Structure 1
């Protein structure tokens, strides 16, 4: 199978339990577009950005999401939510097959520090297979700012990266460029799904393996549906996008040991000089001195 239909739900949500609404949205989507094969929702869409809403491992929520995938016969990445394991909290994105089986679970490697407090970084990249179609990778929001994540997923065989996001800040415009850059530099489909409403400023997008924009949403609630063509992607990898750069082959065939990877990042002297990772302080404004009037 070459073509695979993916829907991104850019939903207008509040910081509350949105799980029932998301289930209803998935049900409604499949009634309208029964040919859709995979649904992706934005980061932290289920409960919002507070770790106070973290659910324990094995929570009944996982069963509900599995049933949503099963009754709609669809692959489901329901966004992410905080999952508590002992004293640790992880920003977690599960993936469910149309059978209801949970086939993957990704923990965000790069929490948005120093703002995303109390969240433990994940330690493993995540890929899963849709049999007869392609291998998919998963990353979350701030992960896109670190090229090592997407490059690792591509080297693990991912031909599409599913990327739930929650962004409501001025840097969303930059993230649109990063989505395209992640796509073209790894010759993958990059499916970036943001939230809207009070939690996000939307502009979700799907990029093709040449960095081209397949579709970009506006800033309000929107349902984004597109067919990913993996024969086209494989042709781009073989011949280059429009016969141009064959990026992954060049990466494979280059034997340079890059300085950035010869030791852990914490051991690079220039990075040690940057100081602690903390929230910036307010600038101090000095009052003007009063001089003697002549």
Structure 2
């Protein structure tokens, strides 16, 4: 067994200005669960959805979070912050190790357009290694709606996908289904952490490599603590989901290739990406 303990913080958050609250909740979590090795925040937990908070990275906020991770000796996934690069803004998650080093940053590849206006799409997937444990992948919110993103992470060896999200809309039920489906299709752990309170609808989900729901949160604030066994990922991928289908091996061996969206006439016929009108 290769255990790794993660705390997902589904916090009751205001639309912005949550830094002090988040720090307090992280510290409280580590007092209650001192054996936790990683803390995961929800998407935009600290700054909220307004891009006016965007800062170049490394930023003062990221530096303070790095100092906190070092003080507590934990891995910390910051949920995400808005990152300013010239005249562009990215929705960016940082991964900080127990020494307080930012080991990687991930820019959300699929901003929730046309609603997440003014946010530029990132262009690269993100995987990182935790020594002695395994390889982790990172995606953010709407990225999950594109199975190509999770498959790309798994092709790079990801055994766990960390997925901060921020959802306060009627499609949350659909997303909860997607978490389980992604875990089964990719034979990995899927750690989906949503906000609560004024920011989001909660209902965070953690699913395992056989497609099982390990934890389904309520709509209220909740500290979700799970201990993963990464050997189970290897076993599922070798023997199949519930000892049955072996989708990753089948994908590897089939020899199929698929055309890209740019060559699809049916997708071209859908028209522009825009907010639906009242009478459209």
TM range (shorter): over 0.9
In structure 2, the residue matched to 1:277 is 273
In structure 1, the residue matched to 2:143 is 143
Q: The residue matched to 1:181 in structure 2 has which SS?
A: helix
C-alpha displacement at 1:266, in angstroms?
2.7
What per-residue deviation string (whole Å, max 9, x for no partner) do you get for residues 63-113 of structure 1? 101011101110000210111000000000000000101011000000000
Q: The residue matched to 2:183 in structure 1 has which SS?
A: helix
Structure 2: unaligned runs, 5 residues or longer: none
In structure 1, the residue matched to 2:71 is 71
Q: The residue matched to 2:58 in structure 1 has which SS?
A: coil
In structure 1, the residue matched to 2:177 is 177
C-alpha displacement at 1:35, in angstroms?
0.3
Q: 1-side partners of 2:58 and 2:181: how far apart?
A: 36
C-alpha displacement at 1:278, in angstroms?
0.5
In structure 1, the residue matched to 2:188 is 188
Q: Name segments (4+ residues, structure 1) moved above 2 Å.
A: none
C-alpha displacement at 1:57, in angstroms?
2.2
C-alpha displacement at 1:15, in angstroms?
1.4
In structure 2, the residue matched to 1:288 is none
In the TM superposition, 1:1-294 aligns within 5 A as 2-258=2-258, 260-261=259-260, 265-283=261-279
Q: 1-side partners of 2:88 and 2:107: how far apart?
A: 12
Q: 2-side partners of 1:203 and 1:28: how far apart?
A: 21
Q: Which moved more, 1:228-237 or 1:106-115?
A: 228-237
Q: In angstroms, what is the RMSD of aligned CA positions?
A: 1.0
Q: The residue matched to 1:237 in structure 2 has which SS?
A: helix
Q: 2-side partners of 1:20 and 1:128: how far apart?
A: 28
Q: The residue matched to 2:223 in structure 1 has which SS?
A: strand
How many residues end up aligned between the 2 structures? 280
C-alpha displacement at 1:243, in angstroms?
1.1
The question of whether the paired residues in 1 share the 8 Å contact of 2:189 and 2:207 is answered with yes
In structure 2, the residue matched to 1:292 is none
The question of whether the paired residues in 1 share the 8 Å contact of 2:211 and 2:241 is answered with no
Q: The residue matched to 1:233 in structure 2 has which SS?
A: helix
Q: Which moved more, 1:230-239 or 1:183-192?
A: 230-239
What per-residue deviation string (whole Å, max 9, x for no partner) do you get for residues 169-216 of structure 1? 110000011111111100010000000001100000100001100001
Q: 2-side partners of 1:235 and 1:16: how far apart?
A: 42
What per-residue deviation string (whole Å, max 9, x for no partner) do you get for residues 237-276 of structure 1? 1111221111111111110112x33xxx233211111111
The question of whether the paired residues in 1 share the 8 Å contact of 2:114 and 2:273 is answered with yes
Q: 1-side partners of 2:132 and 2:149: how far apart?
A: 25
Q: 2-side partners of 1:62 and 1:231: how far apart?
A: 32
